[in-house]
C-alpha cells in the first residue's frame, strides 16, 4: 500500500533533474561563488558599519544603517535572479527535445502537466535554495536596525515571485523551442517584451494620442504594467506607495496590500504555465526549426504576395547565384547561411527599420519633450542589436562544431586566422543591418535637441554604439572559439556583457563600503549603461557635467576600442589552437622525441 | 613541397628499436612512439606503425581503442604529445600545410552543409584547397564521375540518402587529389548495397595509386578489401602487417580441414596413424575434420596421398586460415576501458 502510494506520488523527473543539477561542475562553481560573495558582502558591510561614526563613535551611531545595506542587497539579488534564471532554466524542456527524450517521457505515465510541473520545480527549487542562503544576511541587517519585519517579508516575497515568474517565462520558451539556444534567445525577447513593452506602449500612446484613454484607464493600465515587474513592486512597497493603489478594506494591512498588488504577477505565472502546457504537445513531435528563419519565411511569402499584387513582381536585389572564388568560408557565410544573404538581410532591415522610422518621425514631430523616451528606446534597440549579434557571432564556430562540419574545414589548408576573418564577414553585414535602426534612433534624438549639443551627442552616441557592439562581436567570437556548445557560448557572453553593464552598480556597493565619490565618478566609465546615460545628458547641454562627461566618455571609447583590438588579436593569434588543430605557423615547434625503446610486452607484432 | 627529413630537429630522429625496414620507400603514414593523453585517459601509448604507399590499410580496434585519436593526429587536428607522426615523409608538426594539402579526411560522422547543392559543396572545398576556378569544374565532374554521382550535381545535399551523402563526402575527400585518404568508419550506417558500392569505389581508388587508411568495425569487409591491417587496443598496437600473415599468425602447426563422404566410418584413428599428423578432431557434429600437421614431417601433398592410400574418401580439402575477426578477438582484450 505504502509502495503504491509512493509510486503514485513519486516525482521521478524532478528527482532526476535535481540530482543531475547537483552533480554538475558549473553548479559547484556557482555555489562557491555565491557563498564567497555573501561572506565578502557581510565582511564589507560590517567594515563599513564600523567606520560609520569614526573610531570614537559609539555603536549606537551604526543603528539604522541596515536599511540602505538591505536595499543594496535586495537589488543585487534581483540582478542575480534576472541573470541566472534564464541561463539555468531555458534548457529544461528544450534539452529533452535535443536528446529526443521528450517523446519517450510523454509515453510514460507522466502526463504533460506532470512533466511541466516537475520541470518547473526542478528549476525553481535550486534558485529558492540559493535565495534562502541570503536569509542569515537579512537577519544580520535586521539587527543593525532601519528595517522592519514587514520590509523583509515584502522583499523576500517579491524575490520568490521573481523566481517563479521568470521560471514560468523560461519554461514556456523552452517548451516552444527545439533547441536550448533558441529557448534562451526567445526567453530574453519575451522578457524584454513582457517587462518593457506595455509601459513603453502606454507612454507612447499617452504622448501621441493624449486624451485617447481616460485618466482612470491610463492609470489602471500603468499600474498593472508596473505591478507585473517584481523589482518595481518591491521599490513601491519599500516606499509605502502601495496603499494608494489598494482598495480601502485592505489599505490598513501592508501584507494584504502587497499580496493584492502582486496579483498581476501571479496571473502572469499562471498564464505562462498554461501557455507552456498548450505548446508542449504541439511542439513535442515537430522537428526544431529556427524560429527566426520560419518568421522570415512567412514574411517572405507576404512580401512576395504584395510585390506581385502591387509592383508586378519587381526584383530590387537579385540573388547572385555565384560560387566561391578564393574565399569559400566568406562565401558560405554571406550566401549560404540562413540570415546571411542580402535578400534576408534587407528584409530584416525592413522589419526592424520601418516601425522604428515611423515611430521616430512621430516623436520628432512632437518635439523635445520626447527625449527621455528616446533614451529608453536607444537602450532597447542596442539590446536587441546586441542579442542578434551575440547569437550570430558565438555561432560562427560552435554551430560548425555542433553540426560536426568543423573538422573537415580544419583539415583544409585554409589557416585559422583566415577562417575567423572570413567567417566574421557574415557578422559584419549583419552588424551594418542592425546598426541602422539604432542610428535612426540616435539621429532622430539629435534632431530634437538643442543645436549646440547636436554634434557632440551624435559623435559620442555613434561612437559608443559602434565600439560597444564591435566589442560584443569579438568577445562573442572569442568565447565561441572556446566553447563546445552554442548555448554555453551565448550564456557566457551575455553574462559577461550583463555584469559589464551593471558593473557600476556593483561598484556602488563598494562605494557604500568606502569608495570615495571621485573614485566612483571615474568608475562610471566602466559601465556602458552609465556612459550611455552621460551621452544622453549631453543632449540637455548640462555645462556642469560636460567636461567631466566628455573625458569619461572618451575614456570609455578608448578602453573599449583597445579591449576589442586585444580580443581580436587574441582570437586571430590563437585561432588554430582554439578551433582544435595544429597551428600552421608552428615551424618552430620541436616535436617531442619518441621513447627510445619499448618494453618487450609493449612491442607490437609487425609482419 | 620540400623534403622534410633534413630540416627536422636531429633530436626527433633518434632511432627506435622497432622493426622498420630502412630500405623501403617513404611510408605513407609513419607513427613512432606516439602517446596522447586526454586528462586522465591514456588514449595512445607508444603507438608505432607504418603504412606503405599505395596500400589499402585497415585500422581496427574496439571502441575507445584510440583509432579516432590516431586519425586526428595524422590529419593535423591533434598535436602529438610525445613521438612523431609523418605523412609521406612530412612531419605533421613542422609541415602542417603540406600535410593538409596531400591528405583527404573523412570523419566518422557525416559532415556536410545540408543547405548547399552537391556542386556548391565540392566547389566550396575546391576553393578551400586553393584549386584554380577554371579547373574546379573539371575536377568536380571527374570526382562525381568516379563516385557515380554525376547525375546528382545540382541536388541539395540535405535531400540525399545516407549512401549518397557518403559518396558526396568521398567526392569531397578526392577534390584536392590527395595522395592519402583517411577514412573513419566510412561504411557505418550504410545499407548493404551502398556498402558494397563504397568498397568498390575504394578499390578503384587504390588502383589509381591512392593510399587508403580506413578505420572500420566491419571486419569481414576489411578482410576482403584490405591488403594490410593494424589492430589497436587500449591505445597500444597489437598487430601491424599484412592480412595474410595475420591469418597464419599464431598457428604453430599448419591446419587443414577435410570433409569426408557421408556414410564413411570415422577416420580419426586412421588419420592419427599417419606419421606427421599432430592432431585430428571432428568439427562439431559435421562431417568435417580439422587436422594439424608438423610441416617438417608431412606436406599437404603427402597428406593427400596418404588419405587416398588409406581409402579415406574426402569431398573437400582446404588449408585452414584464421579469419580476421578471430584474430581480432585473440589480440584484443575483453571489455571496454
pLDDT in tens, B161-182: 888 888 899 899 999 899 999 9
Using a pLDDT cut of 90, give the percent of chain B over it.
Answer: 23
Q: Inspect the interface and report whether the beta carbons of A607 and B241 lie closer than 8 Å.
A: yes
Residues of A in Cβ contact (< 8 Å) with B105: 407-408, 411
What is the pLDDT of chain B when averaged over all its residues?
Answer: 82
Residues 6+ positions from A488 with CB-CB distance below 8 Å = A398
pLDDT of residue A552: 82
What is the average per-residue pLDDT within A91-95? Answer: 89
Residue A605 has pLDDT above 90, yes or no: no
pLDDT above 80 (res B314): yes
Which residues of chain B neighbour A331 with C-beta distances below 8 Å? 124, 127
The predicted-structure confidence for A240-278, as pLDDT tens digits, reads as follows 777 676 666 666 777 788 888 888 899 999 999 999 999
Which region among A101-110, A318-327, A400-409, B122-131 has the lowest average model confidence (pLDDT)?
A: A318-327
Give the residue, A100 or A64, on which the prediction is more confident. A100
pLDDT at B17 over 60: no
**Res. B11: pLDDT tops 50:** no
Residue A535 has pLDDT above 80, yes or no: yes
Instruction: Please give the grid coordinates belonging to residue A550.
Output: 566628455
The pLDDT of residue A308 is 79
pLDDT of residue A455: 87
Residue A401: name the closest of A377, A428, A423 by CA: A423
Question: Which of B16, B19, B172 is opposite residue A594, by nearest beta carbon?
Answer: B16
pLDDT category at A320 given cuts 50, 70, 90 is low
User: Cα separation of A19 and B3, whole Å?
Assistant: 57
Closest chain A residue to the Cα of B74, Cα to Cα: A411
d(CA B186, CA B147): 14
- Amino acid A211: pLDDT: 67
Give the model's pLDDT for residue B274: 87
Residues A109-123, mean pLDDT to the nearest whole number: 90
Residues B325-335 have a mean pLDDT of: 71
Average of pLDDT values for A432-460?
Answer: 88
Give yes or no for residue A363 having a pLDDT over 90.
no
pLDDT band at B130 (very low <50, low <70, confident <90, very high): confident
Question: What is the rounded average pLDDT of the residues B68-91?
Answer: 91
Of A325, A590, A606, the CB nearest to B19: A606
Question: How many residues comprise chain A?
Answer: 607
Reference A482, options A392, A404, A570; nearest CA is: A570
Residue A26, phi-psi category: left (phi > 0), alpha (psi -120 to 50), beta (remainder): alpha
Higher pLDDT among residues A352 and B119, named by residue: B119
Q: Name chain A contacts of B45, Cβ cutoff 8 Å.
A: 602
Residues 6+ apart with CB under 8 A from B319: B254, B255, B256, B257, B300
B123/A405 CB distance under 8 A: no
In chain A, the percentage of residues whose pLDDT exceeds 70 is 81
pLDDT value, residue A601: 46
B139 falls in which pLDDT band (50, 70, 90)? very high
Nearest to A405 among B72, B92, B113 (CB): B113
B249 exposure class (CB count in 10 Å sphere: 0-12, 13-18, 19+) = middle
Chain A residues within an 8 Å CB radius of B241: 605-607
Closest CA to A445 of A343, A511, A373: A373
CB-CB under 8 Å, B49 with A604: yes
With beta carbons less than 8 A apart as the criterion, state whether B194 and B174 touch: no
Q: Which cell numbers hold the place of B254?
A: 599448419
Question: With 90 as the cut, is the pLDDT of residue A566 above it?
Answer: yes
A324:B34 CB<8 A: no
Is residue B45 helix, strand or coil? strand
Whether the per-residue pLDDT at A419 is higher than 90: the answer is yes
**Residue A594's pLDDT band (boundaries 50, 70, 90)?**
very low
- CA of B335 vs chain A CAs: smallest distance (Å): 19
Lowest mean pLDDT among A53-67, A125-139, A448-462: A53-67
pLDDT for res A54: 52
pLDDT at B160 > cutoff 60: yes
**High-pLDDT (> 90) share of chain A, %:** 21
What are A570's three cell numbers?
587574441
Which range is least confidently modeled, A7-11, A347-351, A438-442, A463-467? Answer: A7-11
Of A324, A404, A607, the CB nearest to B123: A324
Q: Provide CB contacts within 8 A for B3, sequence distance 6+.
A: B89
Does A33 score more than 70 pLDDT?
Answer: yes
Is the pLDDT reported for residue A168 higher than 60? yes
pLDDT over threshold 90, residue A343: no
Is the confidence at residue A335, as pLDDT, over 60?
Answer: yes
Choice between B111 and B141, residue whose per-residue pLDDT is larger: B141
* Mean predicted confidence (pLDDT) in A420-447: 90
What is residue B13's predicted lDDT score, i.e. its pLDDT? 35
Candidates B100, B129, B331, partner chain A, best to mutate (most A CBs within 10 A): B100
Percentage above 70 pLDDT, chain B: 88
Task: Please state the φ and ψ torsions of residue A89, each to the nearest 5 degrees.
Answer: -105, -20
pLDDT exceeds 80 at position A91: yes
* Of A398-402, A456-460, A596-600, B212-216, minimum mean pLDDT range: A596-600
- Please state, in angstroms and rounded to a whole number, the distance separating the CA atoms of residues A317 and A334: 14
Chain A CB within 8 Å of residue B100 CB: yes
Question: Which residue in this structure is represented by grid cell 543594496?
Answer: A72
* Span A139-154, average pLDDT: 86
Rounded CA-CA distance A564/A567 in Å is: 5
DSSP state letter for B306: H
Whether B5 has a pLDDT exceeding 50, the answer reads: no
**Mean of per-residue pLDDT scores for chain A:** 81
Average pLDDT over residues A354-378: 78
- CB-based contact B113 A411, cutoff 8 Å: no
Q: Which residue, A73, A227, A39, is CA-closest to A147? A: A73
**Which ipTM score applies to this complex?**
0.74
Q: Which residue has the cell 622525441?
A: A593
**pLDDT score of B1 more than 50:** no
Query: Residues near A117 by Cβ (< 8 Å), separated by ≥ 6?
Result: none
User: Quick check: A53 pLDDT over 60?
Assistant: no
CB B14 within 8 A of CB A593: yes
Q: Which residues contact A357 (CB under 8 A, 6 or more apart)?
A: A440
pLDDT at B251 over 60: no
3-state secondary structure A305-336: HHHHHHHCCCCCCCCCCCCCCCCHHHHHHHHH
Query: What mean pLDDT do residues B115-143 have?
Result: 89
> In the structure, what pLDDT confidence band is assigned to residue A510 with cuts at 50, 70 and 90?
low
Interface of B with A in 242-281 (CB under 8 A): 242, 245-246, 249
User: Taking residues A130-146, what's their average pLDDT?
Assistant: 85
Q: Which residue of B has its CA nearest to A595?
A: B33
List the single residue in A325, A408, A592 with the smallest CB-CB distance to B133: A325
**Better-scored residue on pLDDT, A553 or A202:** A553
Interface contact A411-B76, CB threshold 8 A? yes
* Contact criterion met (CB below 8 Å) for A404 and B113: no
Lowest-confidence region among A237-241, A569-573, B50-54, B93-97: A237-241
- Whether B189 contacts chain A with CB within 8 A: no
Contacting residues for A30 by C-beta, under 8 A, at least 6 apart: A84
* pLDDT computed for residue A41 by the predictor: 77
Q: d(Cα A105, Cα B84) in Å, to the nearest integer?
A: 49
Nearest CA in chain B to A403: B111
Instruction: Give the C-alpha separation, A572 to A421, whole Å.
Output: 8
* Best CA proximity match to A385, nearest among A290, A465, A481: A465
Query: Which of A602, A259, A226 minimizes the C-alpha distance to B17?
Result: A602
Amino acid at each position: 500500500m505504502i509502495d503504491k502510494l509512493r509510486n503514485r506520488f513519486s516525482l521521478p523527473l524532478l528527482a532526476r533533474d535535481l540530482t543531475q543539477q547537483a552533480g554538475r561542475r558549473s553548479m559547484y562553481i556557482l555555489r562557491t561563488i555565491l557563498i564567497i560573495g555573501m561572506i565578502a558582502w557581510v565582511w564589507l558591510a560590517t567594515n563599513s558599519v564600523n567606520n560609520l561614526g569614526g573610531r570614537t563613535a559609539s555603536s549606537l551611531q551604526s543603528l539604522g544603517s541596515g536599511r540602505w545595506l538591505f536595499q543594496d542587497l535586495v537589488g543585487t539579488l534581483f540582478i542575480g535572479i534576472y541573470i541566472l534564471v534564464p541561463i539555468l532554466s531555458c534548457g529544461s524542456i528544450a534539452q529533452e527535445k535535443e536528446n529526443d527524450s521528450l517523446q519517450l517521457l510523454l509515453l510514460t505515465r507522466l502526463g504533460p502537466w506532470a512533466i511541466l510541473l516537475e520541470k518547473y520545480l526542478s528549476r525553481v527549487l535550486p534558485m529558492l535554495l540559493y535565495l534562502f542562503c541570503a536569509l542569515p544576511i537579512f537577519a544580520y541587517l535586521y539587527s543593525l536596525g532601519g528595517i522592519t519585519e514587514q520590509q523583509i517579508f515584502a522583499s523576500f516575497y517579491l524575490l520568490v515571485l521573481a523566481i517563479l515568474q521568470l521560471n514560468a517565462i523560461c519554461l514556456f520558451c523552452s517548451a516552444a523551442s527545439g533547441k536550448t539556444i533558441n529557448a534562451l534567445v526567445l526567453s530574453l525577447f519575451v522578457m524584454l517584451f513582457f517587462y518593457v513593452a506595455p509601459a513603453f506602449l502606454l507612454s507612447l500612446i499617452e504622448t501621441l494620442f493624449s486624451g485617447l484613454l481616460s485618466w482612470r484607464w491610463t492609470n489602471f493600465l500603468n499600474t498593472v504594467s508596473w505591478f507585473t515587474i517584481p523589482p518595481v513592486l518591491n521599490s513601491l512597497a519599500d516606499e509605502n506607495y502601495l496603499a494608494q493603489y489598494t482598495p480601502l478594506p485592505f489599505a490598513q494591512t501592508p501584507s494584504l496590500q502587497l499580496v493584492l498588488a502582486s496579483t498581476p504577477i501571479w496571473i502572469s505565472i499562471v498564464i505562462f504555465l498554461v501557455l507552456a502546457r498548450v505548446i508542449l504537445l504541439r511542439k513535442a513531435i515537430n522537428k526544431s526549426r529556427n524560429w527566426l528563419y520560419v518568421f522570415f519565411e512567412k514574411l517572405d511569402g507576404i512580401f512576395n504576395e504584395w510585390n506581385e499584387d502591387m509592383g508586378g513582381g519587381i526584383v530590387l536585389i537579385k540573388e547572385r547565384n555565384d560560387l566561391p572564388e578564393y574565399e569559400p568560408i566568406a562565401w558560405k557565410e554571406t550566401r549560404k547561411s540562413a540570415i546571411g544573404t542580402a535578400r534576408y538581410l534587407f528584409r530584416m532591415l525592413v522589419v526592424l527599420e520601418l516601425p522604428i522610422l515611423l515611430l521616430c518621425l512621430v516623436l520628432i514631430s512632437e518635439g523635445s519633450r520626447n527625449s527621455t523616451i528616446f533614451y529608453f528606446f536607444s537602450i532597447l534597440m542596442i539590446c536587441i542589436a546586441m542579442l542578434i549579434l551575440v547569437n550570430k557571432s558565438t555561432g560562427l564556430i560552435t554551430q560548425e562544431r555542433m553540426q560536426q562540419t568543423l573538422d573537415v574545414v580544419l583539415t583544409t589548408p585554409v589557416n585559422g586566422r583566415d577562417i575567423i576573418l572570413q567567417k566574421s564577414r557574415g557578422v559584419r553585414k549583419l552588424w551594418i543591418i542592425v546598426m541602422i535602426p539604432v542610428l535612426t534612433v540616435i539621429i532622430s534624438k539629435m534632431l530634437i535637441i538643442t543645436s549646440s549639443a547636436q554634434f557632440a551627442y551624435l559623435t559620442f552616441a555613434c561612437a559608443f554604439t559602434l565600439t560597444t557592439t564591435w566589442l560584443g562581436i569579438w568577445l562573442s567570437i572569442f568565447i565561441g572559439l572556446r566553447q563546445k556548445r552554442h548555448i554555453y557560448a551565448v550564456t557566457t557572453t551575455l553574462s559577461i556583457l550583463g555584469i559589464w553593464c551593471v558593473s557600476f552598480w556593483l561598484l556602488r556597493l563598494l562605494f557604500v563600503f568606502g569608495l570615495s565619490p571621485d573614485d566612483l565618478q571615474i568608475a562610471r566609465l566602466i559601465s556602458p549603461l552609465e556612459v550611455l546615460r552621460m551621452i544622453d545628458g549631453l543632449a540637455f547641454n548640462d555645462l556642469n557635467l560636460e567636461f567631466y562627461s566628455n573625458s569619461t566618455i572618451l575614456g570609455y571609447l578608448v578602453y573599449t576600442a583597445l579591449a576589442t583590438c586585444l580580443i581580436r588579436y587574441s582570437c586571430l593569434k590563437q585561432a588554430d589552437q582554439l578551433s582544435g588543430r595544429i597551428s600552421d605557423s608552428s615551424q618552430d615547434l620541436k616535436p617531442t622525441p619518441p621513447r627510445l625503446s619499448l618494453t618487450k610486452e609493449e612491442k607490437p607484432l609487425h609482419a | 613541397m620540400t623534403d622534410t627529413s633534413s630540416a627536422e630537429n636531429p633530436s626527433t630522429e633518434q632511432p627506435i628499436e622497432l622493426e622498420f625496414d630502412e630500405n623501403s620507400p617513404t611510408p605513407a603514414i609513419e607513427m613512432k612512439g606516439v602517446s596522447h593523453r586526454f586528462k586522465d585517459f591514456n588514449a595512445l601509448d607508444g603507438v608505432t606503425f607504418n603504412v606503405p604507399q599505395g596500400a589499402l590499410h585497415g585500422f581496427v580496434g574496439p571502441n575507445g581503442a584510440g583509432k579516432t585519436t590516431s586519425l586526428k593526429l595524422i590529419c593535423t587536428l591533434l598535436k602529438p604529445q610525445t613521438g612523431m607522426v609523418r605523412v609521406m615523409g612530412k612531419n605533421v608538426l613542422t609541415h602542417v600545410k603540406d600535410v593538409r594539402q596531400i591528405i583527404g579526411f573523412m570523419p566518422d560522422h557525416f559532415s556536410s552543409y545540408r543547405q548547399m547543392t552537391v556542386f556548391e559543396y565540392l566547389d566550396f572545398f575546391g576553393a578551400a584547397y586553393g584549386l584554380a576556378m577554371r579547373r574546379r569544374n573539371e575536377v568536380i565532374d571527374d570526382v562525381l564521375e568516379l563516385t557515380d554521382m554525376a547525375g546528382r550535381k545540382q541536388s541539395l545535399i540535405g535531400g540525399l540518402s545516407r549512401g549518397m551523402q557518403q559518396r558526396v563526402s568521398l567526392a569531397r575527400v578526392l577534390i584536392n587529389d590527395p595522395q592519402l585518404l583517411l577514412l573513419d568508419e566510412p561504411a557505418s550506417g550504410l545499407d548493404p548495397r551502398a556498402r558494397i558500392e563504397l568498397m568498390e569505389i575504394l578499390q578503384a581508388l587504390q588502383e589509381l595509386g591512392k593510399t587508403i587508411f580506413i578505420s572500420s568495425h566491419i571486419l569481414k569487409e576489411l578482410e576482403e578489401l584490405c591488403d594490410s591491417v593494424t589492430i589497436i587496443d587500449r591505445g597500444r598496437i597489437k598487430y601491424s602487417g599484412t592480412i595474410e600473415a595475420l591469418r597464419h599468425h599464431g598457428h604453430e602447426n599448419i591446419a587443414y580441414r577435410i570433409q569426408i563422404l557421408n556414410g564413411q566410418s570415422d577416420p580419426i584413428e586412421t588419420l592419427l596413424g599417419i606419421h606427421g599428423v599432430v592432431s585430428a578432431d571432428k568439427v562439431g557434429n559435421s562431417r568435417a575434420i580439422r587436422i594439424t600437421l608438423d610441416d617438417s614431417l608431412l606436406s599437404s601433398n603427402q597428406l593427400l596421398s596418404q588419405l587416398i592410400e588409406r581409402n579415406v574418401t574426402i569431398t573437400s580439402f582446404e588449408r585452414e586460415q584464421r579469419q580476421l575477426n578471430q584474430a581480432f578477438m585473440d589480440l584484443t582484450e575483453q571489455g571496454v576501458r
